Structure 1
Amino acid sequence: MEIEVQDALSDRLTAEWDGFLSNAVHQHVRQDPRFGPVDLAEGNEVRYALGRENGGVKAVGLFTLRPHPFLPGAFTNAISLSGPVSDDPAVFVSFMEGVRRHKAFAKVGRISVTPYWLDEQAEELGAHLAGRGWIMSEPRYLRLTGIVDITGTASDIASQFSQTCRRKLRKAEKEDLEVVALQEDADAADFLARLNCHRTERGLGALRQDAFMTTFEHVYRGGDLGVIRVIYHRGRFVAGIVLHRSRDTTHFIYSVHDDEVLAELNNLRISPFLMLDAMKWASEKGCRYFDLEGYGNPDDPDNPLKHIHKYKSEFKPTPTLRVPQHHKISNRMIYLSGNFKDILKNWIKAKILKRQKYFDSKWHHKDPR
């Protein structure tokens, strides 16, 4: 396979890339070149890789390269977010082996892939990756997701929701709510401030404003690849949601709501209204599926996200396996020196978890007498 890697795409290469991506079965919006400026705004570098056979494009991969903390020109990691994209598992692996050996990745410590392959096809691609020495880099449950069928009318979509969810939806529909797709920078900045407050309160990292506003400019404002939809009640912010859209599937990215306003509205539960509006928008854009971006059994006591998955379960998603992230070390010295803190942190966490499981096992097997 012929591998071409560029720091930026010419008009000709962009046309080739877009033509392949738009027709690929395993496409994902995060592999659209318009996300390249977002990665640059995050302080990373970007590489666009194309794989050709017999003159035709058979694979594309947008890679985000994280600079090494102290080695000039080196990168600790290169990751293809929800990619690369290829429709043949053997071609996919051949493409990645070619990318790994390409001179453009010579100073990269580790290369990671997170392709958007689901269920049986995910199992098939995972087997091909394992067969060529690619290692699964995360617990399998982290790549379980939930897919909602959004074909049909808004009533058809809502009819799938739980009875409680539909009751809350009817209550919200009686309120004086307005839904707007954000177009102005000031509104996007206000949304980000609310979202970051929501995230930091829950122990999550705040999103960088420069990167978010770059995404707004290249992705959300136009409403083609994604959108920020916000609910207002008589001019006051109630809730908002961020969506990314591929050809067939829309992906739930972030959401935030204002507890004080909802309390004033008789403790209104806004998520059913917000999610149905998002699914209606996706359906109107031609999508058939809505990916909740993460889903597991909410009744599993070992599920660390069970409270979130309990909320998602009310939309009656189909549990779906996605290929977990896989990686290969390309340059061990660069990888270890650049990721030492993370490697040590993960090692300590693994030791603590192993110790906890040991004591839990001893406790459960203790004679109750």
Structure 2
Amino acid sequence: MTAAPEAGLVGGSSNDPTSGGAISAHSHAGQAVSVRFATDGEISRWDELILQNPDEGTVYRGRANIDAMELQGAAPVYLIVDGCAVTAFKVGVPLVGALWVLFGPPVRDVRELISSARAVAAFAARQGEITAVRVRTQLKANPDDAEMLRAEGLVRVPTWLDDSTVIVDLTGSQQDVWARFKKRARKSIRRAEREGVVVDRVAATDDNCRVLYEMLDATSGGRFKIPGLASTTAVFQRYESTGHGQLFLARHCGEVVVGAFVAMLGTTALYLGAGSVRKLPGDPTLCGLGDSRAAYALQWDIMGWAREHGCARYDLDGTPSSATIGDPAHPRHGVGQFKTAFSDEITDYLGAYQIAVHPRRAWLLRQLEICAQRIDSSPQLNRVRRRPVRPNPDHVWLHRKFTQSHRRGS
């Protein structure tokens, strides 16, 4: 689940198309890239516009997720970049100003990304208080593209989205989907059936949301950030009210042992949030599902629901990268092994990049962010704090190579 920054760090936004005026910048091919705020009419049919984009959009760009982020204190910014709808959020940061964080733009290659990022940065500069713009596209990871971005002055940064995932192909018959699983997934689903695991599709009532949240909170154990109970409940209920979300609870021997919430946009379903019982109270590192294989049964039922709703893809939302999937020391190694049982292919995205609007403030922002994240992932400090957090080798933005662009001031 995407957790927004604390409300106290978030600034306001404007979606008046006349505010700041439209702006154009030239692409690598010499063509102008236009940027403006969306009109009220465009915002009213935002999901429709998102699905018309070249990359078909994602759940995170849709109105239900925007509303969910607002509930957590984020401020949405609706942009039209070169004719495409782009979902963004404005984030205020003490001392250094504000950021625009874009879930997009829906570009086709890295050259388009550079041109669009520059155009958005120029537009943001006219708004008066934006320090930097961050872009997170659906472009796949490519070392040459990453090098070009650095050469053009963009720097690698973290974002709210995972940069590697497993996407399950739901096309064809149910048997076709089943046949594409690894043997261990098929065996585990059959084992769950023998164990009497039952998966229920339940309403997102306050009580059911609390059941899932308590497992999610126990699974987190401080290892990753999640919204509070009230925000989580509101998010689930918002998705459910649109008809684009479903809460699942799986029981073994009559007790709820694992649950998940799944959202959808267009033909893509997203594993939005999940949790399971723990083996030992207070220890998030040890799963308490035992030999029931309930988590596999849960996923199989989720895929059935997604297919019933016309989805062709199921995004399991977050794994180690393809380069680190085999590393047993990776803090998400177990997650990766579980998810790749349903599809062998890991999708690695190019990741998020920052372009400076005010270079000195943008540089200061990155240094503060890097310092805070290095402290947070320090094995020595986490032992003192008794936090079961290990360094993540996929957090490449903490590596010196990625913290600087080839141009100064980014």
Q: Deviations over 1:285-337 (max 9, x none)?
A: 22222222234354335645323212223223312232211111222444455
- The normalised TM-score by structure 1 is 0.76
Q: CA deviation at 1:208?
A: 2.4
Matched with 1:252 is: 271
C-alpha distance 210-84 of structure 1, shift in aligned 2 (>3 A): farther
Q: Do structure 1's residue 97 and structure 2's residue 118 form an aligned pair?
A: yes
Q: Do structure 1's residue 330 and structure 2's residue 357 form an aligned pair?
A: yes
Matched with 1:272 is: 296
**In 2, Cα distance between equivalents of 1:161 and 1:44:** 38
C-alpha distance 278-336 of structure 1, shift in aligned 2 (>3 A): same
Among candidates 173, 183, 186, match of residue 166 of structure 1: 186
Q: Deviations over 1:72-110 (max 9, x none)?
A: xx31x32123x2334565554433322211246542223
C-alpha distance 185-86 of structure 1, shift in aligned 2 (>3 A): farther
The alignment's C-alpha RMSD in Å is 3.6
Among candidates 256, 263, 271, match of residue 237 of structure 1: 256
Q: Do structure 1's residue 228 and structure 2's residue 260 form an aligned pair?
A: no
Q: Tell me, what secondary structure is at the counterpart of 2:180? A: coil
Matched with 1:50 is: 80
Among candidates 76, 100, 103, match of residue 78 of structure 1: 100
**In 2, Cα distance between equivalents of 1:247 and 1:180:** 20
Matched with 2:157 is: 137
C-alpha distance 92-177 of structure 1, shift in aligned 2 (>3 A): same
Amino acid at match of 1:275: Q
Q: CA deviation at 1:284?
A: 2.0
Give yes or no for contact 1:99–1:105 (8 Å, CA) kept in 2.
no
**In 2, Cα distance between equivalents of 1:132 and 1:340:** 20
Among candidates 231, 235, 241, match of residue 215 of structure 1: 235
**In 2, Cα distance between equivalents of 1:210 and 1:64:** 21
**In 2, Cα distance between equivalents of 1:191 and 1:351:** 30
Give yes or no for contact 1:298–1:313 (8 Å, CA) kept in 2.
no
**In 2, Cα distance between equivalents of 1:258 and 1:307:** 15
**In 2, Cα distance between equivalents of 1:80 and 1:265:** 38
Matched with 2:135 is: 113
**In 2, Cα distance between equivalents of 1:344 and 1:264:** 35
**In 1, Cα distance between equivalents of 2:219 and 2:327:** 26
Amino acid at match of 2:213: L
Give yes or no for contact 2:192–2:294 (8 Å, CA) kept in 1.
yes
Of Structure 1 and Structure 2, which has the larger fraction of its residues in helix? 1
Unaligned runs of 5+ in 2: 1-32, 280-286, 381-392, 394-410
Aligned residues: 334
Q: Do structure 1's residue 60 and structure 2's residue 60 form an aligned pair?
A: no
Q: CA deviation at 1:50?
A: 0.8
